[in-house]
Structure 1
Amino acid sequence: MDQQLVTSPPPPDATELHVWVLNSSTELKHLRAALREALARQELTLDDHGSEITDRMVLVATELATNAIKHGRPPTEIRLMRTEEQFILDVADRDLSTVPELAHTRPIDAGGRGLFLAMNMSLQVGWYAGASTKHIWAAFAARPGS
């Protein structure tokens, strides 16, 4: 795998569409349903591309939010953003003492593969730290061919 974890914020022209705040893994089911609903409102067509992108985004959001809940400090914030060409998922927690690690050398059943999965299912994955939060973000094509 040649893709690298970018160390920068997401594209500056991204507009925030929605924010979800989670305090525990029991709220992940609500996140998945709410994210699907939010993407449907963004005119992401329900052809093969739209369904595939929605499914990928829901899976990546679940993985990244699970990592943040499990390894970070609550609350976990998940932002859905959009540029003209991309959707961006940004997942933040309040643990500034650790940096994201790729776990692609671990056995599959050992866990810790959320970033690896995100990198394989999105266009780009990055991370950055703010004053009080650490963010992991992933970009997805908003339309076929972009």
Structure 2
Amino acid sequence: MTEVTKSRPPPHTVELRRWSLVCPDDLRSLRRSLDQVLADLRPTGDETRAEVSERMALVATELATNALQHGLPPTTVRLLRHDDRLVLDVADHDPHHAPVDTAASLTNQRGRGLPIARAMSLDVGWYPAGDTKHVWASFAVETEP
């Protein structure tokens, strides 16, 4: 097990959307809504919009699931924008426990969130802020105007 790097996302981000989750049932609507926001932004680049959307939805779901299981509710998911990056920021109300990156195995259904986030995103980090803990992942994308 390793601790996730304590760092903040890129500075001067702009919040595009925010979701509040209180239970695992909220994850389905998070994925649908995130997909719609990304469709409106029309991310472009080396990958298709569907691939970018799928990667971001998977990471958002994994990080939010971790927050719902291990943190204190409510869980807040924010989609942020910084130049050519989109950032998913997931916050729970347990700033005293750093996220831990466990070695996920194919047979274990738990402990996969952070390894998946690392594999699917450009960068992953975390930081405490007041009574919340934020775990974030960034994605290099361009969007059409």
Q: TM over 0.5, yes or no? A: yes
Moved over 6 A (4+): none
Q: How far does the alpha carbon of each residue in 1:4-46 deviate from its partner, in whole angstroms, 9 at most, with x for none?
A: 9431111112110000000000110000000001111112249
Cα distance in 2 between the residues matched to 1:66 and 1:47: 28
- Structure 2, unpaired ranges of 5+: none
Q: 1:80, CA displacement in angstroms?
A: 0.2
Task: Select the structure that is richer in strand.
Answer: 2
Q: How far does the alpha carbon of each residue in 1:23-76 deviate from its partner, in whole angstroms, 9 at most, with x for none?
A: 000110000000001111112249843221111000000000000001100000
1:125 partnered with 2:128: no
Q: 1:141, CA displacement in angstroms?
A: 1.1
Q: Indicate how the Cα distance of structure 1 residues 46 and 26 shifts in structure 2: closer, same or farther if over 3 A, else same.
A: farther
1:100 partnered with 2:117: no
- Structure 1, unpaired ranges of 5+: none
- Worse-superposed segment, 107-116 or 22-31: 107-116
Cα distance in 2 between the residues matched to 1:85 and 1:46: 10
**Amino acid paired to 1:23:** V
Instruction: Report the identity percentage.
Output: 45
Q: 1:142, CA displacement in angstroms?
A: 1.3
Q: Indicate how the Cα distance of structure 1 residues 96 and 48 shifts in structure 2: closer, same or farther if over 3 A, else same.
A: closer
Paired residues of 2:45 and 2:141 also in contact (CA < 8 A) = no
- Aligned pairs, how many? 140
Cα distance in 2 between the residues matched to 1:67 and 1:17: 22
What's the secondary structure of 2:76's corresponding residue? strand
Cα distance in 2 between the residues matched to 1:37 and 1:98: 33
